[in-house]
């Protein structure tokens, strides 16, 4: 296993919709192992493949350090995931390993039903709420080339843009 470099906004790979995985071979197995290690080292609670520069539909989620009840999902690998249904809405703070030192409130569905394949290729369905629902939506957005900043209100988006300009100025 190896820790891979986490791509940061505005890396274009984060904006590209990822491709479906058609066969789970040794390369994919290694990618998943590396993603888990990279996520744990960051540390983070979720990581999508395009965040390590690989434009394929796989993400990993581990909420066991954050929430007691999430210990039943110590490590979730989702391959070719899709959201089947969404219910309700919640506004909660989010951050992203690809957008360091920035967090903002984002509106998401409160509950989601997701269908995906696990790392052996088996199709499974999962109903989630709370932190897990948030993480699933965040990671599936990544795989579709979306970032949480895309879901901010227009006002918060403009504040984020100003912050980016300020950061660019500080670097020069």
State the Cα–Cα distance between residues 162 and 8, nearest whole angstrom: 18
Least distance between Zn ion and beta carbon 148 (Å) = 7
Q: Tell me the site size for Zn ion, rule CB under 5 A.
A: 1
User: Which residue's CB is nearer to Zn ion, number 24 or number 63?
Assistant: 63
User: Which residue's CB is nearer to Zn ion, number 95 or number 130?
Assistant: 95
Site string for Zn ion, 92-121 (x = CB under 5 A): ----x-------------------------
Strands (E), the chain: 46-48, 58-61, 76-87, 90-96, 99-108, 111-117, 123-129
Residue facing Zn ion at closest CB distance = 96
Least distance between Zn ion and beta carbon 97 (Å) = 6
State the Cα–Cα distance between residues 64 and 46, nearest whole angstrom: 11
Q: What's the first-to-final CA gap in the chain, in angstroms?
A: 36
Least distance between Zn ion and beta carbon 25 (Å) = 26
User: Which residue's CB is nearer to Zn ion, number 24 or number 136?
Assistant: 136
Q: Is the peptide bond before 43 cis (omega within 30 degrees of 0)?
A: yes
Query: What element of type H or E holds 165?
Result: helix 154-171
139 is catalytic: yes
Instruction: Write out the residues near Zn ion by the rule CB under 5 A.
Output: 96
Which residues form the catalytic set? 139
């Amino acid at each position: 296993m190896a820790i891979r470099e986490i791509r940061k906004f505005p890396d274009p790979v984060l904006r590209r919709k990822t491709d479906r995985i058609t066969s789970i071979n040794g390369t994919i197995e290694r990618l998943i192992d590396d993603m888990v290690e990279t996520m744990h080292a960051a540390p983070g609670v979720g990581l999508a493949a395009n965040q390590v520069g690989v434009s394929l539909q796989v993400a990993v989620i581990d909420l066991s350090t954050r929430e007691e009840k999430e210990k039943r999902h110590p490590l979730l690998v989702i391959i070719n995931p899709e959201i089947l249904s969404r219910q309700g809405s919640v506004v909660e703070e989010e951050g992203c390993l690809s957008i360091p030192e920035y967090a903002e409130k984002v509106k998401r569905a409160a509950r989601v039903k997701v269908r995906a394949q696990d790392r052996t290729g088996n199709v499974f369905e999962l109903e989630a709420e709370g932190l897990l629902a948030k993480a699933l939506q965040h990671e599936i957005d990544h795989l579709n080339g979306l970032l949480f900043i895309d879901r901010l209100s227009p006002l918060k988006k403009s504040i984020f843009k100003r912050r980016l300009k300020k950061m660019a100025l500080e670097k020069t």
